[in-house]
Structure 1
């Protein structure tokens, strides 16, 4: 028996990544966009239309419609965090990093893994995932430590916790799981345990083969297992300041050999930033030819890279503009949150977009819009979901208390309305007001006189 449908209509919405200085009417039915219509100027709200700012977030019963007035606020496709480590998140109090180096982080966390209970892992994953969702991310791809050398039970403990979090949060986010196959000893036992994880329901296979003493044979094994199970691959690649570390090129060639365009992702790619143009450009061209998706992790890599340099210090963020210019699908993602690899971060991709713009010198109007695409539509393509505000796509989106791309990255508005499949997951509290009468008057007058919101004809 078909349940009653629920319709959504939003007027006066700004779509800054589609067309600026215009407003749109957005319509959805049962969580799917049905129409995106350009308005001729602002629409005067009807009595049955509720201003979005001030709306409680309560959804009407099935069979009823919801009519909202966005009031010119920006609507973006929901954020897609294409590279996280949910299992490591918030582990810093237990696993420190005195030197701040990647090497110490790897050693310290690997040694601590056997002491983490399944419940602790699950709680940390849940907290990090919910925090990311609250900021507007409704698709998360997380890498998972897979320490088979500590025994099958230790490795599978993380997998079981992640699968339970994925199931619990399924109404609110799509969570993809990629166990990181060990780079130090990729044995048949490790491959068999990874195959078991795939049968249990993880999404694909990950790893960090550039750390292996024999990266190419390890990459071969990963591709062989992925082919057997028909699953995607997402590898940490060349997270190094050493320009001679070039596993990305081999990954691209294997992708071409297997005909797996669109099914392989390479994250970090820091060594591209350390090598000369004449060495980097052929690798970038090969990644583009193979259809390998890429992910930059600017927060963590600005923190980790260059630790062994005397001045000038390399900063490690990959060649963002060059990858984009070559046609590589490039995402910007969170990576680690409050753990020995990165003591900061909060799972807010708008903040990551700003850090990307800083790190890659992306300040022109076109660059700012690319930075926003790197947290919305580009990562959707990288992880294999259909993201956007177009008829036929899921109505996953975020409305932000801002109007233009410049304002979004200037203000990083905390007030956001997060939607998944036409259902509001988060509606913010009203704007904070100055408590003193005189200050409130000054603030109101300043906001009226100086506004980012331009008049739209």
Structure 2
């Protein structure tokens, strides 16, 4: 395969990109006539942007497309969402086999949505507070079945807690033994602070034991006294596991006072942990207990970014008890996130695609296989735009998605004919 007339992020001019046996074999500035060989597949990028695929670092594929089953989340809060999901688990009257097939059907539909928007790397959470492990079983099968479309990491996620849920520790370890790639937690949902701290220490120990990555739903609340992030950061710092650790949400940071945050950032930077913000979900779930002024309910994205720490954006949900919207388009998330976080300055706009691409790849610990570089897997997309700014301003979509040198998605550019008198 050879791609001609392509633009690359951060570089001027047009480029030719060659792929052989599923890897990038040559990347050259285009000059003069393009040499081709018989039967070679030629793709004309038409001066559009070629880049590494989008990354979805935080989603719940076992929850997708369940909004309103059996009831809607009427308060729009995180905690009612958890309650509604627990209600659904008890409400579903199907055999385990049928439940697994239903979960797979919904997850597969969501995977198609993600793939249609140029996403090839996904981290999904699977609820382990289900003794039958329906989500884990279903997503392990989906991971294998869709490997030609995307790489999927599975987080063993204790939705209703580790210490505060019956057999929570054993269930979490069982999920890891089943094949989870990442160990999760939710310390702010534990019954007490002490149990929250114990849950963090246990999950980090478990990850260390099985050599797994870590991704914790951490301080997803407006409560300024929810401070499990410092516990997580210190724990992984002491064990040298920071770069393999992610703190998701951390929305309480938006309510911390500046004096505490100044102290906290020193620890966070030293720990080298990664951050994920889910802007559409957080702006929907948080601030629900405020009158006015209402908090935005997001973590300190621009401050984390400016401090040189790694942070990316994610969708979190697609039409589930926590969030009734979503269609797999991560450009929509990027647009909302930059608006909500006051990040529409020139410097942010000129490299905004980092938040849904390379930053996410770093979070997933896959940089060794990610990027438009010689000898790396020929995974890339072509966007209907010339640069980051144009892509965001026009909400550009992926026109082409290529994986290991093979086209997996094509889209016809959208056009409109405006009639005038």
**Fold-level similarity (TM above 0.5):** yes
Give 2:189's match in structure 1, choosing from 211, 221, 229.
Answer: 211
Say if 2:17 is the partner of 1:26. yes
Structure 1 residues 316-349: Cα deviation after superposition (integer angstroms, max 9, x where no partner): 1111111112221111111011112111121211
- Cα RMSD after superposing both structures: 2.1
Give 1:347's match in structure 2, choosing from 324, 328, 341.
Answer: 328
Structure 2 spans left out of the alignment, 5+ residues: 93-98
**Bigger mean CA offset, 407-416 vs 99-108:** 407-416
Q: CA deviation at 1:65?
A: 2.6
Matching of residues 20-419 of structure 1 within 5 Å: 21-39=12-30, 64-94=39-69, 95-116=71-92, 117-148=99-130, 152-153=131-132, 156-181=133-158, 182-183=160-161, 185=163, 189-212=167-190, 213=192, 214-386=195-367, 387-414=370-397, 416-419=399-402
Partner-residue secondary structure (3-state), 1:227: helix
Q: CA deviation at 1:188?
A: 8.4
Is the Cα–Cα contact under 8 Å of residues 45 and 69 in structure 1 kept in the other structure?
Answer: no
State the number of aligned residues: 408
**Bigger mean CA offset, 180-189 vs 414-423:** 180-189
Whole-angstrom distance in 1 between the partners of 2:257 and 2:34: 57
Q: CA deviation at 1:195?
A: 2.3
Q: CA deviation at 1:189?
A: 3.3
Partner-residue secondary structure (3-state), 2:289: coil
Partner-residue secondary structure (3-state), 2:408: strand
Partner-residue secondary structure (3-state), 2:125: strand
Runs of 4+ in structure 1 off by over 6 angstroms are none
**Bigger mean CA offset, 353-362 vs 304-313:** 353-362
Q: CA deviation at 1:176?
A: 0.7
Q: CA deviation at 1:115?
A: 3.7
Give 2:411's match in structure 1, choosing from 428, 431, 441.
Answer: 428
Partner-residue secondary structure (3-state), 2:386: coil
Is the Cα–Cα contact under 8 Å of residues 162 and 185 in structure 2 kept in the other structure?
Answer: no
Whole-angstrom distance in 1 between the partners of 2:39 and 2:145: 27
Is the Cα–Cα contact under 8 Å of residues 204 and 234 in structure 1 kept in the other structure?
Answer: yes
Structure 1 residues 87-118: Cα deviation after superposition (integer angstroms, max 9, x where no partner): 11111131411111112111111121234422
Whole-angstrom distance in 2 between the partners of 1:137 and 1:45: 30
Whole-angstrom distance in 2 between the partners of 1:195 and 1:188: 13
When normalised by structure 1's length, the TM-score is 0.85
Whole-angstrom distance in 2 between the partners of 1:243 and 1:347: 31
Q: CA deviation at 1:353?
A: 1.2
Structure 1 spans left out of the alignment, 5+ residues: 1-7, 50-62, 444-457
Is the Cα–Cα contact under 8 Å of residues 352 and 388 in structure 2 kept in the other structure?
Answer: no
Is the Cα–Cα contact under 8 Å of residues 265 and 292 in structure 1 kept in the other structure?
Answer: yes
Whole-angstrom distance in 2 between the partners of 1:245 and 1:187: 20
Is the Cα–Cα contact under 8 Å of residues 315 and 333 in structure 2 kept in the other structure?
Answer: yes
Partner-residue secondary structure (3-state), 1:374: helix
Structure 1 residues 141-200: Cα deviation after superposition (integer angstroms, max 9, x where no partner): 01112224xxx22xx111111111111101111011112124263578332332222222
Is the Cα–Cα contact under 8 Å of residues 92 and 338 in structure 1 kept in the other structure?
Answer: yes
